[in-house]
Amino acid sequence: MISDVRKCLIFVGNVCVCVCQSVKVLDEEENADKQLRTNHGARWTRTPSERLTESIRAEAARYRQIIDNAVTADGIVRQRYAQHREGFELLSRSDVSVCVCVCVCVVPVLSHCCDNFHACGFEVTS
């Protein structure tokens, strides 16, 4: 599972780089268009680059937002995983091992809280 997450992170990183590079190319082209428009004035009759690339830029911004949301969600998952890692490892053990651990942790608490613990048929062993 962790290796799949790492592969996804690499993929998302590559997508992010592609989006950033694409926007950079659009910026360079727009700057060149503005420069040519300035140099040639009214003779430069081409549609302004910024109008031609509006939809592409909007799509790039949408992808960037999706990537940012994914990075935020990934951080939350990493934090929660680190916080509950011991529990995940415990639950990955065999059924017997989980039962033993639960009994070791729960029986002392129950015996302390319940006056009739022994009357219920449970015994506390240390």
pLDDT in tens, 86-103: 888 888 888 877 777 777
If asked whether residues 69 and 101 sit together in one domain, one would say no
CATH code of the domain containing 23: 1.20.140.50
List pLDDT tens digits, range 14-61. Answer: 888 898 999 999 999 999 999 999 999 989 899 999 999 999 999 999
Per-residue pLDDT band at 7 (split at 50, 70, 90): confident
The string over 49-72, giving b where at least 16 C-beta atoms fall within 10 Å of a residue's C-beta and e elsewhere, is: beeebeeeeeebeebeeebeeeee
- Domain range spanning residue 49? 2-92
21 vs 111, higher pLDDT: 21
If asked whether residues 74 and 113 sit together in one domain, one would say no
Question: Which residue has tokens 């040639």?
Answer: 40
User: CA torsion 68→73→77→82, rounded to 10°?
Assistant: 50
C-alpha span between 6 and 19 (Å, rounded): 20
Looking at 47-56, 76-85, 114-123, which range is the least confident one?
Answer: 114-123
Residue range 68-97: average pLDDT? 86
Looking at 9-13, 22-26, 80-84, 107-111, which range is the least confident one?
Answer: 107-111
If asked whether residues 103 and 67 sit together in one domain, one would say no
Residue 7: C-alpha distances to residues 2, 19, 99 (Å): 9, 18, 35
| 20 contacts 57 by C-beta, under 8 angstroms | no
User: Residue 67: helix, strand or coil by DSSP?
Assistant: helix
If asked whether residues 72 and 98 sit together in one domain, one would say no
Question: What total number of domains does the chain contain?
Answer: 2
If asked whether residues 105 and 87 sit together in one domain, one would say no
C-alpha span between 68 and 56 (Å, rounded): 18
If asked whether residues 88 and 105 sit together in one domain, one would say no
Residue range 62-80: average pLDDT? 89
The pLDDT of residue 121 is 55
The pLDDT of residue 102 is 72
If asked whether residues 57 and 119 sit together in one domain, one would say no
If asked whether residues 83 and 108 sit together in one domain, one would say no
If asked whether residues 63 and 14 sit together in one domain, one would say yes
